[in-house]
Amino acid sequence: EDKVVQSPLSLVVHEGDTVTLNCSYEVTNFRSLLWYKQEKKAPTFLFMLTSSGIEKKSGRLSSILDKKELFSILNITATQTGDSAVYLCAVMTTDSWGRLQFGAGTQVVVTP
Protein backbone atom coordinates (compact mmCIF):
# COMPACT_ATOMS: atom_id res chain seq x y z
CA GLU A 1 0.00 0.00 0.00
CA ASP A 2 1.34 3.44 -0.94
CA LYS A 3 2.23 5.73 1.95
CA VAL A 4 3.09 9.40 2.34
CA VAL A 5 4.24 10.35 5.83
CA GLN A 6 4.97 13.86 7.02
CA SER A 7 6.84 14.89 10.12
CA PRO A 8 6.54 16.53 12.48
CA LEU A 9 2.75 16.74 12.72
CA SER A 10 3.01 20.21 14.17
CA LEU A 11 5.54 22.70 15.44
CA VAL A 12 5.69 26.16 16.95
CA VAL A 13 8.56 28.51 16.17
CA HIS A 14 9.43 32.15 16.72
CA GLU A 15 9.64 34.67 13.94
CA GLY A 16 13.04 34.56 12.32
CA ASP A 17 13.60 30.86 13.00
CA THR A 18 14.29 28.32 10.26
CA VAL A 19 11.86 25.44 9.80
CA THR A 20 12.53 22.08 8.15
CA LEU A 21 9.60 19.86 7.23
CA ASN A 22 9.95 16.25 6.17
CA CYS A 23 7.99 14.09 3.77
CA SER A 24 8.83 10.43 3.24
CA TYR A 25 7.06 8.17 0.80
CA GLU A 26 6.69 4.55 -0.15
CA VAL A 27 4.99 4.27 -3.51
CA THR A 28 5.38 2.17 -6.59
CA ASN A 29 6.29 3.90 -9.83
CA PHE A 30 7.02 7.31 -8.36
CA ARG A 31 6.61 10.24 -10.71
CA SER A 32 6.71 13.47 -8.74
CA LEU A 33 6.34 15.02 -5.30
CA LEU A 34 4.50 18.25 -4.65
CA TRP A 35 4.32 20.67 -1.74
CA TYR A 36 1.25 22.76 -0.96
CA LYS A 37 0.54 25.42 1.64
CA GLN A 38 -2.92 25.47 3.22
CA GLU A 39 -3.98 28.39 5.34
CA LYS A 40 -7.60 28.60 6.42
CA LYS A 41 -8.85 27.78 2.97
CA ALA A 42 -7.72 25.93 -0.12
CA PRO A 43 -4.24 24.47 -0.66
CA THR A 44 -1.97 26.56 -2.85
CA PHE A 45 0.81 25.04 -4.91
CA LEU A 46 4.41 25.63 -3.83
CA PHE A 47 6.78 23.23 -5.59
CA MET A 48 6.88 20.18 -7.80
CA LEU A 49 9.94 17.93 -7.59
CA THR A 50 10.77 15.21 -10.03
CA SER A 51 14.54 14.84 -9.99
CA SER A 52 16.84 14.07 -7.08
CA GLY A 53 19.23 16.66 -5.76
CA ILE A 54 17.86 19.67 -7.62
CA GLU A 55 16.76 22.36 -5.20
CA LYS A 56 13.66 24.34 -5.98
CA LYS A 57 13.60 27.81 -4.44
CA SER A 58 11.03 30.54 -4.08
CA GLY A 59 11.92 33.43 -1.82
CA ARG A 60 12.47 32.07 1.67
CA LEU A 61 11.12 28.63 0.77
CA SER A 62 13.16 25.85 -0.75
CA SER A 63 12.72 22.14 -1.29
CA ILE A 64 14.75 19.18 -2.39
CA LEU A 65 14.04 15.56 -3.24
CA ASP A 66 16.07 12.43 -2.49
CA LYS A 67 14.74 9.59 -4.65
CA LYS A 68 17.24 7.11 -3.27
CA GLU A 69 16.18 7.60 0.35
CA LEU A 70 12.57 8.38 -0.67
CA PHE A 71 12.04 11.69 1.05
CA SER A 72 11.78 15.40 0.52
CA ILE A 73 12.35 18.37 2.78
CA LEU A 74 10.80 21.81 2.72
CA ASN A 75 12.79 24.60 4.33
CA ILE A 76 11.48 27.96 5.38
CA THR A 77 14.09 30.49 6.46
CA ALA A 78 13.55 33.70 8.41
CA THR A 79 9.99 32.65 9.21
CA GLN A 80 7.21 35.22 9.45
CA THR A 81 3.78 34.99 11.03
CA GLY A 82 2.34 34.75 7.52
CA ASP A 83 4.08 31.39 7.13
CA SER A 84 1.70 29.91 9.70
CA ALA A 85 -0.22 27.22 7.82
CA VAL A 86 -0.52 23.51 7.21
CA TYR A 87 2.06 22.30 4.73
CA LEU A 88 0.95 19.32 2.65
CA CYS A 89 3.12 16.93 0.73
CA ALA A 90 1.64 14.87 -2.10
CA VAL A 91 3.00 12.18 -4.38
CA MET A 92 1.99 11.26 -7.90
CA THR A 93 2.81 7.93 -9.52
CA THR A 94 2.92 6.93 -13.15
CA ASP A 95 0.13 4.42 -12.55
CA SER A 96 -2.61 7.00 -12.28
CA TRP A 97 -1.93 10.20 -14.11
CA GLY A 98 -3.29 13.06 -12.07
CA ARG A 99 -4.00 11.21 -8.83
CA LEU A 100 -2.24 12.89 -5.89
CA GLN A 101 -1.83 11.02 -2.61
CA PHE A 102 -1.50 13.50 0.22
CA GLY A 103 0.23 13.20 3.55
CA ALA A 104 -1.51 14.31 6.72
CA GLY A 105 0.30 17.63 6.71
CA THR A 106 2.50 19.55 9.13
CA GLN A 107 0.93 22.42 11.02
CA VAL A 108 3.38 25.29 11.45
CA VAL A 109 2.67 28.10 13.89
CA VAL A 110 4.99 31.10 13.81
CA THR A 111 4.73 33.31 16.88
CA PRO A 112 5.75 36.98 16.95
Partner 1 sequence: DAGVIQSPRHEVTEMGQEVTLRCKPISGHDYLFWYRQTMMRGLELLIYFNNNVPIDDSGMPEDRFSAKMPNASFSTLKIQPSEPRDSAVYFCASSSDLPRINEQFFGPGTRLTVL
Q: Is the separation of the CB atoms in 68 and 51 below 8 Å? A: no
Stretch touching partner 1 by CB under 8 A, among 7-15, 42-50, 58-66, 70-78 = 42-50
- Show contacts with partner 1 in window 20-39 (CB under 8 A): 32, 34
Q: Which amino acid is residue 19, in one-letter code?
A: V
Q: Is 1 in the site for partner 1 (CB under 8 A)?
A: no
CA gap 16, 102 in Å, rounded: 28
CA gap 84, 13 in Å, rounded: 10
Site string (53-92) toward partner 1, x via CB under 8 A: -----------------------------------x-x-x
Q: How many residues would you count in the chain?
A: 112
- Show contacts with partner 1 in window 87-106 (CB under 8 A): 88, 90, 92, 96-105
List b or e across 75-90, with b for residues whose CB sees 16 or more CB atoms inside 10 angstroms: ebeebeeebbbbbbbb
Q: How far is the CB of 105 from partner 1 (least distance, A)?
A: 7
Q: Where on the chain is the footprint of partner 1 (CB under 8 A)? A: 32, 34, 41-45, 48, 88, 90, 92, 96-105
